[in-house]
Structure 1
Amino acid sequence: MRNTFMLATVLVVIASVAGCKTVQPASQTSTSQPSNRASSAVVAKGAHTFTDNDIQVPAFFNTQGLDNCTFNPANENENCPLRKPIVRMYFSGTDVGGEGLGVDALRKYDDKQLLLMLENQFAGINRFRIITRDDDVIAQEQQTFLEQQGATALATRAVQQRVLQPDFIVKIDTLRTVKNEGSISGWMDYTLELTAATLNPFTRELMSHPNLGKIRVKSEDVRDRNELKYVMANNRHVTGFRYFDSAHVNSVINDMGSRGIDILLTRMLSEMPATAQVLGIRDGQVSLDRGQDAGVLPGETMIIFQYEAGFVEPIGVAHVNPSRNSATGQITRWKQSSTARDVRKKSQNAIYRPAPGTKIFAVSVGTPEKFLDTRT
């Protein structure tokens, strides 16, 4: 009798443990951790690698704000999460650290090169509206327009196309340091730190979102260390890397800045995802109402979810490619839920469209896997 009781107790415990299965957090991105304490880019996992638990609406997406949307890309409500924010960027405080060889050339670097690089990279993804600070080019073009078209035409164009007003500004402080190892033969080790802050230019508020943080890039991340090797004799440079030549130093810092901006870009893309409305689903293929015009990138991994009365129901994960004003994708894994099974059944050999009062959306989970590789 006692043995029977003990056996029954063990079975109850086993059943309890089995019933309390731990739910792991969704894993939607991947990163490779560098060994030198430098920052690394965080990119989206491929849609084909998602598990059922990964199919969740990603962080930083405001589903409640969808009620404010007009779904007109050209004239979207400012409170709609589908609206592209208007951003102005600044490189602010600049500091140079280190002592000895190479510091003087490092001080000569002009951060304006990084600013223009930053603007170009962010404008190129078409997920934000960037107000350029390239005043020289703007002034030159306006002068050329004035000379060719006249003052009346220039005034008319200025009224028709007013200067954009930023929703927020991104301010980046930089710290550049150099350390040289060895006296006769050694290496120049450069470090670039970018610290980003987001500010509301009208309320003067230091904003918590998007939180881009600090990025650290080391010269060995972008150049083979042997390229930065030098040889000295009698305290004079003999051969190797010309650490005293600003052109050579600028080339290294530009490469480091480009990598830092790529990392910054991946953080911004994670915190401000691309979104589109699903027009229909057929046999796992999804049709989206927005494409490159709304910042949907090639190879995008997107979560498909149903939105009704404030409730969110994930349906699946899709691999998406955009055209100019729309996009198509293929659902690679359906969510194991009654809602997903119902949508999948109704979309077999027919076009499934949401019922009135219900909408289906696609939201990106981060920078596409191969995106940075194709931009270098």
Structure 2
Amino acid sequence: MKTSFKVTLSAVALCVLSACQSTGPAQQTEAGKVSNRASNAIIAKSAYSFEQDDIKVPAFFDTQGLSNCNFDRADENDNCPLKKPIVRMYFGGTDVGGQGQGVDALREYDDHQLLMMLENQFAGINRFRIVTRDDETVSQEQQIQLEQQGAKNVARRAAERRTLQPDYIVKLDTLRTVKNEGSITGWMDYTLEITSAIIDPYTRELMPYPNLGKIRVKSEDVRERNELKYVMANNRYVSGYRYFDSAHVNAVINDMASRGIDILLTRMLSEMPATAQVLGIKGNQVSLDRGQNAGVLANETMIIFEYSAGFVEPIGVANVNPSRNSATGEITLWKNTQRAESIEAQAAAGIYRPSSQGKIFAVSVGTPANFLENRT
């Protein structure tokens, strides 16, 4: 089984939201090649590999929205980019295509497994608050609490902690197809396509953002082709891959779905970056007011920038590691501008503390390079 992405460098040009002059496009991410005609995972470039032209606020971050922030973690303004959206996930239409051998077994795949997998992965990155649809587990736990704690205590606890109301719905549709080649000796080729939609449950609006597009995964991305080889005689199965056995088919589709969700995560992490406010800078060390609680990941590449009177001034790029409620990082490269040099000089002489007129923030540029390998 193939266990990792083949990562190749490519230039991904990001839109520029900056008050500084530059001479070239920013290159803040890398493309993880899955296979020919399959979808790619977009991986953040290491902060230690950045050059001057790369130090720009990434395309999908709403710098103007910072003016809406009240910096109250428990009750942040809905229009503040520091607030984590609450989402509920659905698998919608599911279709199966193909002809010949293996179609019936493919139809037996249970999409509920995909939903649980998706919820777990999204909850793990902590940039969204997930309202689970695992009703069976929740109901079972509530019954146990009733038996152990009594109805009065359970009712009091439920009143204190109400069910979250989603800001958005994430709806995924899937198309599974199978194609087999050969007559005596054949191979099964599976394809899984995932399309997503973001819906405002109150206005019923189909949201244009984030635009995650279509994700396509092939069986060759997760299995060596010989593993899906079978032998027929007189139109009957003889040996090899058991394409008619739903357990064997489910194992392949599960791996394909996991790969597809990995790619979906990288797109979400790019379009909905983690953000924190900079408390202070000492030398090359930077201190942030939020950490895992705001979805900052280990070895996060983050752009440090100053926001003042509606203007954005990139300061540098940092490699950041979080604790539960805060984070620290190392500025690996300072921006070659007068403002950045001034802050660097003050930080070298002591602790630079941003003023209320010129706040400094950190924003992530994408999925850390080792995240898919170590956490998914």
TM-score bin (small chain): over 0.9
Identity across the alignment (%): 72
Structure 1 residues 306-351: Cα deviation after superposition (integer angstroms, max 9, x where no partner): 0111111000000000011111100111101001000001110411
Residue in structure 1 matched with residue 231 of structure 2 by the alignment: 231
What CA distance in whole angstroms lies between the structure 2 residues aligned with 1:292 and 1:221? 31
Residue in structure 1 matched with residue 17 of structure 2 by the alignment: none
Q: Are 2:22 and 2:53, in contact at CA under 8 Å, matched by a contact in 1?
A: no
Q: Are 1:28 and 1:50, in contact at CA under 8 Å, matched by a contact in 2?
A: yes
Q: Are 1:193 and 1:215, in contact at CA under 8 Å, matched by a contact in 2?
A: yes
Following superposition, the deviation at residue 152 of structure 1 comes to 1.4
Q: What amino acid is aligned across from residue 293 of structure 2 in structure 1?
A: D
What CA distance in whole angstroms lies between the structure 1 residues aligned with 2:22 and 2:308? 28
1:142 matches 2:146 = no
Following superposition, the deviation at residue 239 of structure 1 comes to 1.1
Q: What amino acid is aligned across from residue 172 of structure 2 in structure 1?
A: I
What CA distance in whole angstroms lies between the structure 1 residues aligned with 2:356 and 2:310? 14
What CA distance in whole angstroms lies between the structure 2 residues aligned with 1:140 and 1:37? 43
Structure 1 residues 228-247: Cα deviation after superposition (integer angstroms, max 9, x where no partner): 11111121111111000000
Residue in structure 2 matched with residue 200 of structure 1 by the alignment: 200
Q: Are 2:179 and 2:188, in contact at CA under 8 Å, matched by a contact in 1?
A: yes
Following superposition, the deviation at residue 75 of structure 1 comes to 2.3
The structure whose Rg is larger is 1
Following superposition, the deviation at residue 102 of structure 1 comes to 0.4
Following superposition, the deviation at residue 32 of structure 1 comes to 3.6
Following superposition, the deviation at residue 149 of structure 1 comes to 1.5
Structure 1 residues 68-107: aligned runs within 5 Å? 68-107=68-107
Q: Are 1:192 and 1:216, in contact at CA under 8 Å, matched by a contact in 2?
A: yes
What are the ranges of 5 or more consecutive residues in structure 1 without an aligned counterpart?
A: 1-20
1:153 matches 2:171 = no
1:216 matches 2:222 = no
What CA distance in whole angstroms lies between the structure 2 residues aligned with 1:374 and 1:328? 21
Residue in structure 1 matched with residue 372 of structure 2 by the alignment: 372
What CA distance in whole angstroms lies between the structure 2 residues aligned with 1:34 and 1:126? 25
Cα RMSD (Å): 1.2
Following superposition, the deviation at residue 153 of structure 1 comes to 1.5
Which moves more between the two structures, 245-254 or 345-354? Answer: 345-354
Q: Are 2:302 and 2:319, in contact at CA under 8 Å, matched by a contact in 1?
A: yes
TM-score with structure 1 setting the length: 0.93
Structure 1 residues 103-131: Cα deviation after superposition (integer angstroms, max 9, x where no partner): 00000000000000000000001110000
Divergent runs of 4+, >4 A: none
What CA distance in whole angstroms lies between the structure 2 residues aligned with 1:81 and 1:318? 20
TM-score with structure 2 setting the length: 0.93
Q: Secondary structure at the match of 2:348?
A: coil
1:123 matches 2:123 = yes
What are the ranges of 5 or more consecutive residues in structure 2 without an aligned counterpart?
A: 1-20
Following superposition, the deviation at residue 22 of structure 1 comes to 8.7
What CA distance in whole angstroms lies between the structure 2 residues aligned with 1:22 and 1:309? 21
Q: Are 2:279 and 2:287, in contact at CA under 8 Å, matched by a contact in 1?
A: yes
Residue in structure 2 matched with residue 363 of structure 1 by the alignment: 363
What CA distance in whole angstroms lies between the structure 2 residues aligned with 1:48 and 1:316? 11
The 3 A distance-change label for structure 1 pair 22 and 340 is closer
Following superposition, the deviation at residue 73 of structure 1 comes to 2.0
Residue in structure 2 matched with residue 49 of structure 1 by the alignment: 49
Q: Secondary structure at the match of 1:348?
A: helix
Q: Are 2:196 and 2:214, in contact at CA under 8 Å, matched by a contact in 1?
A: yes
Q: Are 1:52 and 1:336, in contact at CA under 8 Å, matched by a contact in 2?
A: yes
What CA distance in whole angstroms lies between the structure 2 residues aligned with 1:36 and 1:243? 24
Following superposition, the deviation at residue 91 of structure 1 comes to 0.3
What CA distance in whole angstroms lies between the structure 1 residues aligned with 2:58 and 2:174? 30
Q: Are 1:242 and 1:248, in contact at CA under 8 Å, matched by a contact in 2?
A: yes
Residue in structure 1 matched with residue 340 of structure 2 by the alignment: 340
Which moves more between the two structures, 186-195 or 137-146? Answer: 137-146
Q: What amino acid is aligned across from residue 84 of structure 2 in structure 1?
A: K
Count of paired positions? 356
Following superposition, the deviation at residue 139 of structure 1 comes to 1.1
Structure 1 residues 28-57: Cα deviation after superposition (integer angstroms, max 9, x where no partner): 111044442000100110011111111011
Q: Secondary structure at the match of 1:347?
A: helix
Q: Secondary structure at the match of 2:352?
A: coil
What CA distance in whole angstroms lies between the structure 2 residues aligned with 1:223 and 1:270? 28
Residue in structure 2 matched with residue 265 of structure 1 by the alignment: 265
Which moves more between the two structures, 325-334 or 71-80? Answer: 71-80
Q: What amino acid is aligned across from residue 37 of structure 2 in structure 1?
A: R
Following superposition, the deviation at residue 95 of structure 1 comes to 0.2
What CA distance in whole angstroms lies between the structure 1 residues aligned with 2:22 and 2:307? 27
Structure 1 residues 218-367: aligned runs within 5 Å? 218-367=218-367
Q: Are 1:175 and 1:194, in contact at CA under 8 Å, matched by a contact in 2?
A: yes
Following superposition, the deviation at residue 67 of structure 1 comes to 1.8
